[in-house]
Every structure is written in C-alpha cells, then in structure tokens.
Amino acid sequence: MPRKTKPEPLEKPSQVVGFTTFRGGREVPALYANAVNVLVSLFDITLIIGQVGYGPDGEPEMREVARLNLSPQHGKALADILAKRVADYERQFGTIAVEPPNEPPPPS
C-alpha cells in the first residue's frame, strides 16, 4: 500500500483537496439552485433548495429541487466553510454583489 503524504498547500483558493468522493454506484444529479429556505429545530437544520421563477399564473414561485437535513454541528461547519470559500473567491475575483432577498428573476 502506498504511503500517504501530507497534501501540498493550496496554490489557488479554487483547488479541491482532502478526500475522494464516491457515488455509491449510482449517478448523483447536478442541481442548480437560486434560492434556499432554512428551517431550524433543536436537533437539525433543514435546507430546502430550489429554483425561483414564475408559475403558470405569472406569480413568483420556488420549485424545490432538493432538501438537505444536517445536524446543528454540521450546519455550523458548513456555514464556516462557505464563509471561508466566499472570502477566498472575493479575494481572487472581487466583491460579490448581492441582490435584494426574495426578488424573483425577470420573466423570460
């Protein structure tokens, strides 16, 4: 068995290191989301992930594409990781402009 070596320091913030992802023998869908609702209880955090657009009646709606349930500990770790990655991105590419919340995209 080959000996594992310590990972090299990241040259660019966008590099991914640390572990291999296994898919369990099935294809995992790649999803796009432009909205996330967050539900919190004593024992878990639920992320309802969706796409905001317009329904058949022309009213804005969110179509749920995935739901992720996390322990509060994993939720906090995810928040920390996301904050670090966004900071890395902004150092490399500039400040991200954030649109006002709950604004649906313009009709297409």
pLDDT at residue 102, rounded to an integer: 65
Average pLDDT over residues 72-100: 93
Contacts of 88 (CB under 8 A, 6+ apart): 13, 14
Go through 2-24 and write b for each residue having 16 or more CB atoms within 10 A of its CB, e for each that does not.
eeeeeeeeeeeeeeeeeeeeeee
Residue 42: pLDDT over 90: yes
89, two tokens: 């991105």
The tens digit of pLDDT for each residue in 45-76 reads 999 999 999 989 999 999 999 999 999 999 99
Residue with tokens 């991200």: 96
Q: What is the pTM of this model?
A: 0.64
Q: Give the chain's length.
A: 108
> What DSSP letter does each residue of 22-85 carry, written as one string?
--TTSPPPP---SEEEEEE-SS-EEEEEEEEEE-TTS-EEEEEEEEEEE-HHHHHHHHHHHHHH
Q: Render pLDDT for 5-27 as a digit per residue (tens, 0 to 9).
A: 554 444 454 455 555 666 666 77
Q: Find tokens 């905001």 and name the residue.
A: 52
